[in-house]
Amino acid sequence: MLATLSSAALAEVELPALFSDGMVLQRESKANIWGWAEPGEEVGIAASWGARAQAVADAEGRWSAVLKTPAAGGPFRIAINGKTIDDVLSGEVWLCSGQSNMDCDMRFFTKDARQEKHQPIVLKIREEIKTASDNLFRQIEVPRTVSIEKRLDDFEGAWISSSPTNNGDFTAAGYYFGKELRSRLDMPVGLIKCAWGGTQVQPWIPEDSYRSNPEMEEFYEREIAKAKEIMEDKETFKPVKIRQYPTVIFNGMVAPVHPYTIKGAIWYQGEANRRHMCDSYQEYFETLIESWREEWRQGDFPFYWAQLAAYDDKEFADEWVSICDQQRRALVLPNTGMAVLIDIGDAKDIHPRNKIDVGKRLALWALARDYGIEVPAYSGPLYKDHRITGEKVLVSFEHAGSGLMTGRKELDGPVRETAEDLMGFEIKGADGEWLAAQARIASRESVEVFSPEIEKPVAVRYAWKAYPSEAKLYNKEGLPASLFTTE
């Protein structure tokens, strides 16, 4: 039974949408909790698992406290002055962010595939929506909102649980990530969906991070001035018109979530930046990760992202490849991980239907790195280094697992080893020209690359196309190698 608070004089408080019936708290943590009351008002918090906390509203009426959360379980109840939050779970909380391939919900992927060969995935998602029911798997969604200068502190939203009624509203990539955690951890999982289709990386970065870099600050000031001009047209202004300007989505969508205590974040974005500031994507992406960690003050919390899936982008093919490679290079940041999707894309659809493997591959990083769950491998092979000896180049890989292999994947099924030639490698000579190369697996973790037409190679690259259908390098655990260049 929930203990009653000692003072009957405590005033009623207001709570943000995050703190509402059905919420999921990060288990066994010191969870941040906040809201509003009259300035100077005392706030008492009592949880049914025995934890208590107190706070006093400041001059602006905001109060905050830290509540010790229990082991995974529930449902629990929290009383905060005159309000009660029911059906509270304690489990694992993950922020799901990015653009359309994270934003698109399960319902979106029930549309027929553009290529018939991908239709079986559509049928699986339709069946999942109709049949799945799990009250310990929940989501809350942040609406698409922008704010130029002010950090918003709340949004309209509610926690929902997995059911045939609600499944269509879950982020599809996040759904299959969370479902995998639920299966392997057997504890509640809560997703915070904070995504907006078509957005570049720049609007997701807070103003302070722009201010700490002279070049970025100049960019910020110039672009924000443009956004303000657009907003002055009150008759035709719509939020979507300024969504690409720096900081506006952080202020409108991320700030209301911060500092809700989370386990980590998953991210799927980059498509929009192939058309905008492509060459500096890595710099801005790394700034985003570091800035969010600074904002949350939870140290280097896990941050895992999906590398762009293969897509036959004829207009921006070079830029697509560049974004993918910059995403790979961002792995220099601590406690980060990348799900390689080179083998599950759709040549004709920038929104590939197979979000099943997206979620599973992101979950592998979390299971292995954050939960101590033994998995055969959690990453596909990643370029490590190379050595040039005469006319040959020996390329070494991290995450080779129990060995490298050529493989083939069909839809969301397991990868099977094949005897196919190792394709997709190119080699460059002193003349600067790239030529298709021969390659063979030389050891458990290395590939030998050469061309009879190049006596003195200077560089090697792999899968350097927007849709590299010939790329079939995997580890024996069935995870694909990322594209790379040794330059």
Q: What's the pLDDT score for residue 8?
A: 43
The answer as to whether 10 is a domain residue is no
Report the alpha-carbon distance of residue 454 to residue 122 in Å, rounded.
Answer: 46
The answer as to whether 341 is a domain residue is yes
- What's 211's domain CATH number? 3.40.50.1110
For 151-178, write each residue's pLDDT tens digit: 999 999 999 999 999 999 999 999 999 9
Do 179 and 48 fall within a single domain?
no
Q: What's the pLDDT score for residue 239?
A: 86
The answer as to whether 392 is a domain residue is yes
Q: Is the pLDDT of residue 82 over 90?
A: no
Do 198 and 330 fall within a single domain?
yes
The answer as to whether 261 is a domain residue is yes
Q: What's the pLDDT score for residue 10?
A: 62
Label residue 1 by pLDDT band (50, 70, 90). very low
Would you call 487 exposed, middle or buried from its count of C-beta atoms within 10 A (0-12, 13-18, 19+)? Answer: exposed
Do 44 and 109 fall within a single domain?
no
Per the structure, the count of domains in the chain is 3
Q: What's the pLDDT score for residue 232?
A: 87
Q: Is the pLDDT of residue 439 over 60?
A: yes
Out of 301, 335, 370, a domain closes at 370
For 373-424, write each residue's pLDDT tens digit: 999 999 999 999 999 999 999 999 999 999 999 999 999 999 999 999 999 9
The answer as to whether 164 is a domain residue is yes
Q: Is the pLDDT of residue 121 over 50?
A: yes
Q: Is the pLDDT of residue 3 over 50?
A: no
Out of 89, 124, 143, a domain closes at 89
- Which letter, b or e, does each residue of 151-183 get, where b requires 16 or more Cβ atoms within 10 Å of its Cβ? ebeebebebbbbeeebbbbbbbbbbbbbbbbbe
Q: Mean per-residue pLDDT for 220-238?
A: 90
- The whole-model pTM stands at 0.96
Do 233 and 337 fall within a single domain?
yes
For 345-370, write each residue's pLDDT tens digit: 999 999 999 999 999 999 999 999 99
Do 184 and 273 fall within a single domain?
yes
Take residue 18 and report the two structure tokens written for it.
């995050």
Do 72 and 112 fall within a single domain?
no
The answer as to whether 206 is a domain residue is yes
Residue 438: domain span: 382-485
Label residue 6 by pLDDT band (50, 70, 90). very low
Do 62 and 113 fall within a single domain?
no
The answer as to whether 364 is a domain residue is yes
Report the alpha-carbon distance of residue 159 to residue 127 in Å, rounded.
Answer: 23
The answer as to whether 216 is a domain residue is yes
Q: Is the pLDDT of residue 215 over 90?
A: yes
Do 112 and 227 fall within a single domain?
yes
Do 387 and 364 fall within a single domain?
no
Do 110 and 191 fall within a single domain?
yes
Do 202 and 306 fall within a single domain?
yes
Q: What's the pLDDT score for residue 275?
A: 96
Out of 66, 89, 112, a domain closes at 89
- For the chain, what is the mean pLDDT? 96
Question: With pLDDT > 90 as the criterion, what percentage of the chain qualifies?
Answer: 95
Do 116 and 45 fall within a single domain?
no
